[in-house]
Structures are given as C-alpha cells and as structure tokens.
Amino acid sequence: MNNSSFRSSDVWKSALLTLPDSSYFELMRSVFGSIKTPFNKLRLVEDLEAFLSRREIRETIAAYIDEIDVRVITAIATLKEPAPGELETFFAGEFSYAELHSILLNLEERLILYRFQEKGVYHLALNPLLETVLSPIIADKSVLFPSEPLDISEGKEPVSSGTFDDRILAALFAFVSDEPDFFKTEGGIRKKVLDDGRLLFPDLDFESFIGSLQYLGFFRQQGDGLASDEVKLRHFMDLSFSERREYCAAAICINKSVPRSAVWQLAAKFPTQSNRSRLLALTRVIHAFMDILRMDRRYPRSTLKRIADILERSGIEQISWGAEINELRGNSLFDLLLEALQTVGLLGTENNGFFRYPLRADTSPDGAVIAMDTVFSCILFPEISLPDALALASFSLVRETGTTVRFEFTRESVVRGFDRGMNAGAMITLLDRLSGNQVDQNLHWTIKDWEARYSRVSLYQGIVLTLSEDRRYLAEVEPVASLISRTLLPGVYLLSAAEKTGAIQALHKAGIDIIAQPPQPMAPFPGTSGPTEDAAFHSGRHSPYPPQSAFCSHPRGLCPDLFLSDEVHHTEILCPNEEKKEQYKDRFRSALEKLSLTKGERDELAARIERRLILNESQLAGVSVRYEKLEARGLDYVGKTSIAKQAIASKQLIEIMWSNQDGEVNRVIGIPEAMEKSGGETLLVLNPVPPGGVIRFPLGKISLLRRIKQSIFGE
C-alpha cells in the first residue's frame, strides 16, 4: 500500500498502456477526436500528459469537481488506494453499489481516477498529473468524518455513566472471593451463584462479565471455585484509567463474539499466545480509536465506523483487527465495540450521536470517597480509585450495586482480608483515609478483636524445610529465600500449601469459629502496604497488560486533526463551485449549438457535456462519436429488450427499478442471464449483486432498465 496520495506518473502511464486496444483508443478519441495513423500508443499518452498539464484544462477539471466528487476523491486518498469493494464498504449507507459505480466511472472518464493492478487486485488511485488540483481538496478530511460541537461549558461537562467501572470490578472481586463453589461439576456457573450475581449486579450481563474478566486473566477456575489472580490485578492497576477501560472493552467484545460454550475454554487457556495476541490486537485498535476522538465533538455512527475502517486498513503494530480477530466475529465487531465502549464508560450518547467522556484522574481525590452509612457498611463514590476499591473489597462483602455501590464488613470478610496478608491496622487506616475519618470506633474495636482471635488459632499447610544452624544463611539468599512463605520457628520454614479440609472441619467441631487459613502470602493491594513491598512486587516483573501509550497511537501518521480538521483549504486553481461548473457547461452547450451535426452525434456530445467530459471546445469540433443507448424507461419495451440482450451477451451489470402498489420505488442490481416467456409475458432472469438468489421479473413492469458500463481498466 502506498503511503502517498499520488503514485508516480509512470504508474499512471503504465495503467493506460496496458489497456485493451478498444478501451485505450476509445479513451483517446474521447479526448482528441480523430487520431492520426499510424497509431503510436506511447506518443498518445505523452500527448495526453501535455493536454492535462495545460492550465486552462486544469481550471476546467477543478471547476467540474462537486461535493460528491470531493467525498469520493478524499476517501480514495484517505484509504490509500483502496480496492473498489473497500470503497463500497466505506460508503455503505451513503451510496448504493450502482451510484458509487457510476461515480467512479465518471471520475475515470474525466481522467481524475485510474485503476492499476497489484498482486492481481485492482486498486483505485488519483491521477498524479492533477496533484496540484487535488492535493488541497484531499487535505481536509472533515468532509468524510462529520461531527458537531459538544457543549462542555462549565456545569455541562458530561459525567461517565457506564455500567462497569472500578467500583463494579472491585465488587465482582469481592463477590467471587465469597463464593467457594462457583461452578457446577458438569460445567457452567451454579444456579445459586447466577441468581445471586444477577440480583447483586442488575445492570450487568453477569455471566458474560465473568467470562470477560476470565478472558482478561483476573479470575481462573480452580476446581469448582473461581480464584482471583491478584498478581494480574496488581499489574492491571498500573495502567491509566482509560487504558484499563480499553482492555475491559476489548475483553467484552471478544467474549460477546465467542460462543458461550467456548468462553470458559478460552478463558481457561489465558494467557496462551494466541489469546494474548487477540486481546492485545483489539485493545490497540480501541486505544487508537479513542485517541482520535476529541472530547469536544459529537460524532454520528457513520463517522465512527469510517474511523474504525481506516484503522483496520492501516494496521496497529502490523496487527489488523480484521486479520487477527476475524474468527471471533459472530455479530458485527464494530457494533460490539460501540456497545462495550459505552458499557465501560468511555463513550456516551446524545442526540443520536456519540461523544468521548473527559479523562479522569487515576487516584482517589483528596477528601472522602466512601460514606459510612452504618457502623459496618459503606457506600463507594464513583471517584474512588481502583487500588483503593480493590483493597476495600479484600475484606468486605458486596451488598448492592447500580446507582449505589455498597460494601459490608463481616467477620468472614475481614478474616478473608487477614488471610490475604492485611492486618487490622492497615484496614482501619484505609477506612479512615477513604471516609475522611468518619469510621465508628465500634468498627475499629471489632476489627482489632477479630484480629486478636485470628492470631490465636492458625492452620498452615505445605512443605516444611529445616536448616541446621550453620545452613540457615541459605534462607536469606536466592534461590531459597524466594521459596519461603513463613518462618515458623528458627530454622523451620513453610514453603507451600497442601490439603487442609479435614483439619478445618476438626477445629470447627472443637468450637473454634475463626480459623486462620492464609494462602501463600503475597503483598496486599497498593494503599494497604508500604513502599518497600510495592517496589519489590514491581521489580523485574513483566506485565501481561502493556500500557497502550507505549505503542503508536496513530498508525501511519493518522491523528485527530487528519480526520476532523476545521481548517478551510483552498485549491491552487479553483475551489469546487456549482456556479462555476454550470458556467463551463453553458459555454460548451453554446459551442455545440453552432455545430452542424446529426441528431445522434449531438445527443452524444450533449451527454458528454453533462457528464463533464468536455474540457475545451476542440473536443466538440470534428470529433468522432458513437451514440450508445444505456437506459430505457416506462413503455419503451423495445429499448428495454435491446439493452437487456446487450447486457446478457456482454455479461454486464444492469440496474432495474420498479414501483410497488404503495408507489415505493424498488431497485436491484445484477447480471442478467436470460429472458424467458411465461404466460404471455417476457421475464428477465437476474442474478442479484450481492448474491441473494435468482429472480425473475416481468420486463413490462420495469420502470427503468439501465446497463451499467464497466471500467475501461477492465473491472
């Protein structure tokens, strides 16, 4: 793919010289009229180059360019020499196949576009000889990517209202931690867990979100339970606020486009290289997509779709979401993308448009971010940071989400926090800081009491290492030091965990209601540990979630201003102007009236003027023309029959139109196969494009039958 909007003139000349002789000489006669023999194809191309280099010819070409031309020309430059099918996809919903095909043929006849083949594929390109005419036009891409100003004056700045935020992630973490039997033996989430989850998270597709978080690697199946991977969660917290949401949006898209039966299998394999690549590929596209959007603009869906198409064709770090994630598409990935971006609070909607929410801080602001609504429960404010929300969830239960997110502190939840390595002092300090010192002293006292009881009875499991006094130095150096979980006694060290169910049951029967069951210790979440512990965690660890800011946000130089420039550009010669275009046509119509021509010649030349093919008066005088009827209407049964037969013989596309009983006009494009007689009527047999099954339609009921010409470049 060429990075410039214009190839060298040699490529253009080569495309002309490789045309079939019939197409080549038809083009040359349309420009120069009768051509002297003997024919010299190279000399004729050089003459055409000289013709297009004349200032008055370029002025006429520039004056003829209208708003539709500008959109198509700019799209071809923006898409970097697209195949015709790619341009059709880009303009889906704006131009029909027939309309776009006609526009392209007209631009080719006017020598603004040409086609060349590369690896067996035709590409559309801009004529390099007209660079001074076209460059100023294609410099402003806003014609392709319309948007409107968004009112962000003081007091009107939109606040993110996604159904999934840091509080919900922390609440899911607390919920999963409180459900030891998450899955059924035969597979799938247990009904009670599903019912509880749907009740506590009414705004979420609970099962789908659990699958998304598994895909991200936050949770992994462990027997019948679902264990959180706190290492990955800590790496995830290192990302910025927006990058975390971009990863979540990517996981939601992938999860929703994978059959539900396969979600758990894919998530269980994470992080395999293929799944990791898939997640990173889509996250990079999302990051580039969001980076292009301005926070002071509102965009229609069509603009967002076109931006996504540009990113897909440009590639992100040599990864295209079409190539890498195509196998995941059940529904439209773009529609899933928009839905996911709204769910995670990156995009909002207003007046049938979309806007990007303002960025927010990555840390909790000064002041309270929780409110103690009872002695043993609190409400989380949206401003709370993810590290603080997760630290809070480590020793609480989720009781409510939605408009309000509420956590409760129970004996079981606080013991779970002790098992994770937190102590009463860290819990109380965190609560005081987040609430602005509004925690009831009864909660302080109760947490300390639970800690005292926790320390009285402890149950460990695992492998014990004993070292003689002269070998104890091994416990302080690598590689032994990193294997030690706890020093039980001088020279006695706990290395790892093992089965402990029987011991727990025995202690319960003995009347012990709080039993310490610490897993292999790990540093608590940031905000509950000291800087030394946090530094040790981050040193030398490779994150499975690389920050997207480390990658190029705008592939191949794409940037917001490229798509959404407000600057007005002026051409070197003339700006597209409807009035100027008609002035040129009137001049050529007047010149045509003075010529002595047959009706067929006059009709053909008049049609060429209307198609903007006549660039000066010399193309009217002494020109060799061949009138070609391309359409027939209404009662012109003979004309429709003749055009249909020509299209059948040449296998050319036709367009037919008819009106139904309500007067609504219908249209279909296809390749005619034959004409059949049935009950006194002649039926046209047509293969629609795109394919949709052969149709047979009475020729007499067709209000318009038009043969669609093919490109002179052979496609």
What is the structure's pLDDT at 329?
A: 38
* Residue range 176-215, pLDDT digits in tens: 988 888 888 877 889 999 999 999 999 898 988 898 998 8
DSSP 70-125: HHHHHHHHHTTS--HHHHHHHTTTTS-HHHHHHHHHHHHHTTSEEEEEETTEEEEE
Q: Is the pLDDT of residue 265 over 50?
A: no
Contact 200, 422 (CB under 8 A): no
Three-state SS at 684: strand
Q: How far apart are CA 678 and CA 695, in angstroms?
A: 14
Average pLDDT, integer, range 245-249: 93
Q: What is the 3-state secondary structure (H, E, C) of 413-462?
A: HHHHHHHCCCCHHHHHHHHHHHHCCCCCHHHHHHHHHHHHHHHHCECCCC
Q: How confident is the model at residue 652 (pLDDT cuts 50, 70, 90)?
A: confident
What is residue 560's predicted lDDT score, i.e. its pLDDT?
52
Q: What's this model's pTM, rounded to 2 decimal places? A: 0.74
| Helix/strand/coil (H/E/C) assignment for every residue in 283-335 | HHHHHHHHHHCCCCEEECHHHHHHHHHHHHHHCECCECHHHHHHHHCCCCHHH
Which conformational region is residue 113 in: left (phi greater than 0), alpha (psi within -120 to 50 degrees), or beta?
A: beta
The mean pLDDT value for 433-449 works out to 95
The SS3 of residue 692 is: coil
- In the predicted model, what is the mean pLDDT of residues 396-407? 93
Average pLDDT over residues 28-45: 82
Rounded-to-10 torsion of CA 263, 269, 271, 274: -80
pLDDT at 372 exceeding the cut of 90: yes
Indicate the average pLDDT of the chain: 81
Tokens of 161: 């209202």
pLDDT greater than 60 at residue 3: no
CATH classification number, 9-143, choose in 1.10.1740, 1.10.3470, 1.10.10, 3.20.20: 1.10.10
CATH top-level class for 631-707? Answer: mainly beta
The mean pLDDT of 353-361, rounded to a whole number, is 84
User: How many other CB atoms are found less than 10 A from the CB of residue 319?
Assistant: 18
Mean pLDDT of 42-52: 92
In the predicted structure, residue 173 carries a pLDDT above the cut 50: yes
Q: How many CB atoms lie within 10 A of CB 53?
A: 12
- Given a cut of 90, whether residue 653 has pLDDT beyond it is no
Instruction: Determine the pLDDT at residue 562.
Output: 52
CB 35 within 8 A of CB 28: yes
74 pLDDT more than 90: yes
pLDDT at 72: 95
List pLDDT tens digits, range 540-575: 457 788 887 655 455 544 555 555 544 333 334 445
**Contact (Cβ atoms closer than 8 angstroms) between residue 254 and residue 520:** no
Cis (ω within 30 of 0) for the bond into 526?
no
**What are 442-485's pLDDT values in tens digits?**
999 999 999 999 988 877 777 777 777 877 877 787 766 766 77
pLDDT > 90 in the chain, percent: 30
Instruction: Provide mean pLDDT across the span 133-153.
Output: 86
Residue-range domain boundaries for the chain: 9-143, 204-356, 580-619, 631-707
pLDDT of residue 262: 40
Unique residue bearing structure tokens 């969660």: 233
Tens of pLDDT, residues 288-322:
899 989 888 899 998 998 888 888 776 554 434 34
Reported as a single tens digit per residue, the pLDDT across 518-537 is 655 555 665 554 444 444 44
Phi, psi of 592 (to 5 degrees): -65, -35
Integer angstrom CA distances of residue 203 from 178, 342, 352, 379, 703: 20, 13, 22, 17, 52
Phi, psi (deg, nearest 5) at residue 126: -90, 140
- For residues 360 and 364, what is the distance between their CA atoms, to the nearest angstrom? 10
